[in-house]
């Protein structure tokens, strides 16, 4: 369950629109990926036609992004959405909605459908954008804010996405680190070519952010420039861009409630819910690297006996166990897209002293899931996967390079370059 713990909040006013910024982060939790209602589940944002994609939208294209979510409440609710423009550090920008949106600044989600033949009833909502009601006129970081009955001060969810222009040439690769552990870590080296792009002081005006897979907790903001070379910005070992390689994600398959896939110990029906008991997991801290294909922490929804997973995939109680002799000093979390890449009560595990194991239960929609176990100390924002999962240079990861232009003549950060680099596989 997700709860808003702070009563005192700040309000920012954007052209007559008010958005609550709840305490808990430099940019306010509302500028993060958050679910504010216990009834909202399975929030997905992706490029139209490619469900496993990242939420990156090229401004010059005709592509769209899609937002999907389920409402498990007993009634069909009316939801509205709007967009908030942010700077490179995810603070609200100085722009008003009329500066970055064309059309209506607030719109209703009119595409929804009730679930069919599921033990847990829900309503599935879908919206794609840009659309005939609203379009984007500026690049940059965005948050889509969804709220009930036109009440913006009580959002039910907020999700980040990026709108970019391909103005720069970005190329890079993952190499063994120069200053880290060559067996456990990965170094990202890349070059940003700006030939033909109008910029007065590239060193001062370009701002670089790098993220690993779909994570924000370990993203690097304001990456240091190594050197300039003939209309190119070089970021190499001296930039210190070193990440833990971590490990390939664990997985489980709950597309079927009739068939026990390899990682499932037991399936049982109890009091209107199907319970899925996963086999106990083991620490992988010192295990050798084992190559396997994964989804880099993502999931996809599917019912093996259904036709439309949006409405015929059921919700199941999934039970996780992680045996360890003694509890960690830090909290243990189930981590990945199934947790929204967040650390909350909903994905935090508890230690069973009698059984000497960590335990957790999550209500998840049928499908195929990646996950990992992460440690996080109270007051910290970054999770550590290495102490449970281990870390290897060979692990396959996506790295997204985001290049923003902070022009002295503009009131916002333009996102003028974006590149996904995958362990030597350029995409």
pLDDT digits (tens, 9 = 90+) for 195-253: 999 999 999 999 999 999 999 999 999 999 999 999 999 999 888 899 999 999 999 99
pLDDT at 3 over 80: no
Domain boundary among 113, 141, 164: 164
| 17 compared with 386, residue with greater pLDDT | 386
51 with 108, same domain: the answer is yes
137 with 37, same domain: the answer is yes
What is the helix (H) or strand (E) element at residue 46, kind and residue range?
strand 40-47
- Looking at the domain assignment, is residue 2 inside a domain? no
336 with 195, same domain: the answer is no
52 with 151, same domain: the answer is yes
Q: What is residue 30's predicted lDDT score, i.e. its pLDDT? A: 79
pLDDT at 12 over 50: no
Which are the contacts of 61, defined by CB distance < 8 A and separation ≥ 6?
Answer: none
159 with 180, same domain: the answer is no
215 with 135, same domain: the answer is no
Q: What confidence tens digit (pLDDT) does each residue in 298-348 have?
A: 999 999 999 999 999 999 999 999 999 999 999 999 999 999 999 999 999
Q: What confidence tens digit (pLDDT) does each residue in 88-145 have?
A: 999 999 999 999 999 999 999 999 999 999 999 999 999 999 999 999 999 999 999 9
- Looking at the domain assignment, is residue 4 inside a domain? no
81 with 17, same domain: the answer is yes
Where residue 174 falls among pLDDT bands split at 50, 70, 90?
very high
273 with 200, same domain: the answer is no
Q: What is residue 153's predicted lDDT score, i.e. its pLDDT? A: 87
Q: What is residue 28's predicted lDDT score, i.e. its pLDDT? A: 52
- Provide, rounded to the nearest whole percent, the portion of the chain with pLDDT above 90: 86
The DSSP bridge partners found for residue 251 are 370
181 with 61, same domain: the answer is no
Where residue 27 falls among pLDDT bands split at 50, 70, 90?
very low
Q: What is residue 16's predicted lDDT score, i.e. its pLDDT? A: 36
- Looking at the domain assignment, is residue 177 inside a domain? yes
pLDDT at 4 over 60: no
pLDDT at 149 over 60: yes
Q: Give the CATH number, domain containing residue 80.
A: 2.60.40.10
- Looking at the domain assignment, is residue 318 inside a domain? yes
Provide mean pLDDT across the span 269-287.
95
This model's pTM is above 0.75 = yes
List the domain range (segments joined by +) for residue 111: 9-164
Our count of domains for the chain comes to 3
Domain boundary among 125, 147, 164: 164
Which residue spans within 245-349 are E strands per DSSP?
Answer: 250-253, 264-270, 273-278, 299-301, 315-323, 331-335
Domain boundary among 139, 164, 189: 164
190 with 102, same domain: the answer is no
Q: What confidence tens digit (pLDDT) does each residue in 188-206 have?
A: 999 999 999 999 999 999 9
296 with 220, same domain: the answer is no
282: how many CB neighbours lie within 10 A of its CB? 11
Burial group, residue 425, by CB count within 10 angstroms (0-12, 13-18, 19+): exposed
- Looking at the domain assignment, is residue 192 inside a domain? yes
Q: What is residue 150's predicted lDDT score, i.e. its pLDDT? A: 83
158 with 236, same domain: the answer is no
């Amino acid at each position: 369950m997700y709860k808003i713990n702070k009563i005192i909040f700040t309000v920012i006013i954007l052209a007559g629109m008010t958005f609550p910024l709840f305490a808990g982060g430099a940019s306010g939790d509302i500028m993060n990926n958050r679910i504010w209602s216990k009834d909202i589940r399975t929030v997905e944002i992706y490029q139209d036609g490619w469900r496993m994609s990242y939420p990156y939208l090229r401004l010059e294209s005709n592509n769209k992004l899609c937002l999907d979510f389920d409402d498990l409440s007993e009634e069909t609710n009316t939801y509205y959405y709007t967009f908030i423009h942010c700077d490179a550090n995810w603070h609200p920008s100085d722009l008003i909605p009329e500066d970055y949106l064309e059309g209506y600044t607030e719109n209703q989600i009119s595409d929804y459908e009730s679930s069919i033949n599921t033990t847990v009833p829900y309503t599935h909502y879908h919206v794609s954008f840009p659309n005939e009601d609203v379009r984007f006129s500026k690049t940059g970081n965005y948050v889509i804010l969804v709220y009930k009955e036109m009440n913006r001060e009580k959002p039910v969810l907020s999700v980040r996405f990026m709108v970019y222009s391909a103005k720069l040439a970005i190329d890079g690769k993952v190499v063994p680190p120069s200053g880290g552990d060559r067996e456990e870590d990965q170094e990202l080296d890349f070059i940003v070519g700006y030939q033909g792009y109008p910029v007065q002081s590239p060193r001062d005006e370009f701002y670089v952010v790098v993220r690993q897979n779909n994570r924000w907790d370990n993203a690097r903001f304001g990456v240091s420039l190594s050197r300039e070379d003939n209309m190119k910005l070089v970021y190499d070992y001296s930039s210190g861009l070193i990440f833990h390689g971590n490990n390939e994600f664990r997985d489980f398959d709950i597309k079927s409630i009739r068939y026990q896939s390899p990682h499932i110990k037991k399936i049982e029906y109890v009091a209107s819910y199907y319970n899925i008991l996963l086999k106990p997991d083991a620490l992988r801290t010192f295990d050798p690297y084992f190559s396997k294909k994964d989804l880099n922490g993502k999931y996809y929804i599917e019912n093996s006996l259904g036709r439309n997973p949006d409405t015929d995939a059921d919700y199941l109680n999934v039970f996780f166990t992680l045996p360890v002799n003694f509890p960690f000093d830090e909290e243990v979390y189930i981590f990945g897209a199934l947790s929204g890449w967040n650390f909350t009560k909903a994905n935090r595990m508890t230690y069973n002293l009698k059984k000497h194991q960590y335990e957790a239960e999550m209500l998840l929609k049928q499908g195929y899931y990646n996950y990992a176990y992460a440690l996080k100390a109270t007051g910290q924002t970054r999770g550590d996967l290495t102490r449970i999962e281990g870390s290897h240079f060979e692990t396959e990861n996506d790295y997204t390079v985001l290049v923003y232009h902070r022009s002295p003549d503009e009131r916002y950060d333009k996102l003028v370059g974006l590149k996904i680099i995958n362990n030597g596989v350029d995409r």
